[in-house]
Amino acid sequence: MNSMKRTKVAVFQKAKTGNKECGDSYFYSETENEFVCALADGLGSGEFAKESSEIVINIIKENINYPVEELVKKCNGKLIGKRGTVLAILKIDFNTKSYSISSIGNVGVMTITSGNNRKRNIPNAGYLAGFNRKFKVTREPLENEMNFIMYTDGVTNKELSENYFLDKEVERITKTYALKSENFRNDDTTLIAVRYNHN
């Protein structure tokens, strides 16, 4: 791992019980100036859900330098006639020491400060399917030693209140989740733990 990296990421993903294909897609990348992570959940499950969530993730990969508002707009435009997707995007700007979050539908983002204060981002209602509408973006100052937890609806509220989410090691968060969470899954499940730490 490059010693200059300011973020660490760990991911847990499992398809809905009985399905080969998980309908969730994700992507993350760190550059010199910023970190971006996106998590998309195609409506329904299986192959068509995967198609919609992958369309969105590919757009974000190709337009990574755009602000969050523009990314959401571009993703929405590509989903006309497709099944639709719910989406969360996190962008950390290392230069302005701030982060931006937009989540649409039941893909969530929780922030945890070094003082162990948990805060869940309030998502925009609905989903992306090509309809022209505005989605709000939350901007907040960045603190050192923050955890960002991104998750699809397979992760329950009860699970999100567990203390292992306060861990400084993201690998331990996803491994503990894998051990403690239900084996039978009513939904596709993706949990992404991100740790920002830069002195």
pLDDT of residue 120: 93
pLDDT of residue 199: 61
Q: Angle, nearest 10°, between helix axes 47-62 and 68-77?
A: 140
Q: Is 13 helix (H, G, I), strand (E, B) or coil?
A: strand
Instruction: Give the number of other Cβ atoms within 10 Å of residue 176's Cβ.
Output: 17
pTM (two decimals) = 0.93
Q: How far apart are the first and last CA of the chain?
A: 17
In sequence order, what are the residues at sequence separation of 6 or more whose Cβ sits closer than 8 angstroms to the Cβ of residue 128? 56, 72, 75, 76, 79, 84, 85, 86, 87, 104
In sequence order, what are the residues at sequence separation of 6 or more whose Cβ sits closer than 8 angstroms to the Cβ of residue 5? 30
Ranges in the chain, pLDDT < 50: 1-3
pLDDT of residue 1: 39
Q: Do the beta carbons of residue 170 and residue 178 sit within 8 Å?
A: no
What is 7-196's CATH topology?
Answer: Phosphatase 2c; domain 1 (3.60.40)
pLDDT of residue 15: 87
pLDDT of residue 93: 96
Phi, psi of 60 (to 5 degrees): -65, -40
Q: List the chain domain ranges.
A: 7-196
Write out the two tokens for 151. Answer: 């998750």
pLDDT of residue 80: 84
